[in-house]
Amino acid sequence: MTLSSASKSASRTVAADLQAALKARTARLAVVGMGYVGLPMAIEFARAGFPVVGIDVDPDRCEALAQGRSYIADVSDEDLQAALATGRFQTSADTGALAEADAILICVPTPLRKSKDPDLSYVLNAGEAVARHLKRGQLIVLESTTYPGTTEEVLLPMLEAKGLCVGKDFFLAFSPERVDPGNPQFGVQNITKLVGGVTPACTALAVDLYRQFIEKVIPVSNTRVAEAAKLLENTFRSVNIALVNEMALVCRHLGVDVWEVIDAAATKPFGFMPHYPGPGIGGHCIPLDPHYLSWKARLSGYEPRLIGLASEINGGMPHHVADLITQGLNDQSKCVRGSRILLLGVAYKPNVGDVRESPALEILRLLDGMGARLSYCDPYVPTLATESLLLNSLPLTPELLRGSDCAVVVTHHRAFDYEMIVRESPLVVDTRNATRRFAHLGAVCFL
């Protein structure tokens, strides 16, 4: 047997051994990052029978998890405690636990710098930790949303610097997270999973990993396709939300009800997908991910104009909301300065407590700069701190509404009593069309 043949045989053995461990669910998993992506994934793998260690650099998070206290809405304390009770799930702040893993999932944040350039510091730190403990036979999968090329241009060189060869000694893939926090219909198990590996062997092993409990896993030809697909998903939403936000502005100038226009257009059985206007976009994905795509495109010599315009339109919606509040108060012979303005909902989406990039933050900043007296009610966000404000959520009562000059529906939580809101408030500015059924009961200004 030649050296080359021996090498190929050894590589096949490494892949075959890992594949067998994955299918037998005896492979040891490590999930780096115990946030809204990593923790649900770790719990589901443990539930499927895998031994899992969740790694997070925040020792307070690890301590909370070890005590059975979840800080993620999509993972209940009961689910976490059940996983702990099996002995298959444990947590650690020590990245040394990576050395014992057969498969490693990297689920860390990928924020933007103030310049709107990608901040890969979390990915780099995770990659360095994985590289320090890399061994033959490991599968590494990056799930963090990032620009096309990150897996092969950033992670791969760090790992191959250890002297091991991808596709033979270790395996590397990208599989974008598709978590939708607070969505009761879609969870980790029934959201289709995309997988793209650096080599065919990498793809095959990553597919084998996820197919142990995810209903549908789709392989693509390489990591760049998988990375770009994730960015397209969220850029699609950003652009279409911008379109309908601009339609709302147009309709307001034309004296047309944009909500009725959307409902009418949605009766077409083909060629139209309804999106809805709002006070702006929030969360970790839609406001940020298109910038990753734009940044990479500019490096390649192309300026993606539509993506930038969509971001500009969506980013301007909090200003439009402030204008609506100003106009509504003016109609009642009041000015913003000194008026008591109550924001209803500050989370970026309904029925969750996540305020990352929430348009409510910009609305508060604008109104604070105009001299308004601000308060808010959000059953999912007990306290809110901004650069200039520190507020506590107030209970939604008739007295609170009557004592406000304007109530602003920013986040349409199911828990809100919209009939009471309209009936008791001197003025309602509704950015979500949540009070339509009760508009006849009071003064309501719609987006």
Three-state DSSP state, 353: coil
Phi-psi region of 55 (alpha: psi -120 to 50; beta: other; left: phi over 0): beta
Which pairs count as long-range contacts for 333-336, CB under 8 Å and 24+ apart, including other chains?
334/405, 336/367, 336/370, 336/371, 336/372
Q: Which of 129, 170, 178, 122 is nearest to 150 (CA)?
A: 122
Q: Between the CA of residue 94 and those of 1, 50, 58, 67, what are the distances in Å?
A: 43, 20, 10, 17
Is 285 a residue of the active site? yes
Three-state DSSP state, 87: coil
**What's the rounded Cα separation, in Å, for the pair 383 and 391?**
6
Out of 202, 251, 285, 406, pick the active-site residue: 285
What one-character-per-residue DSSP string does 118-175 give?
A: B--HHHHHHHHHHHHT--TT-EEEE-S---TTHIIIIIHHHHHTTT--BTTTBEEEE-
**What's the rounded Cα separation, in Å, for the pair 143 and 416?**
35
Which residues participate in catalysis according to the annotation?
A: 285
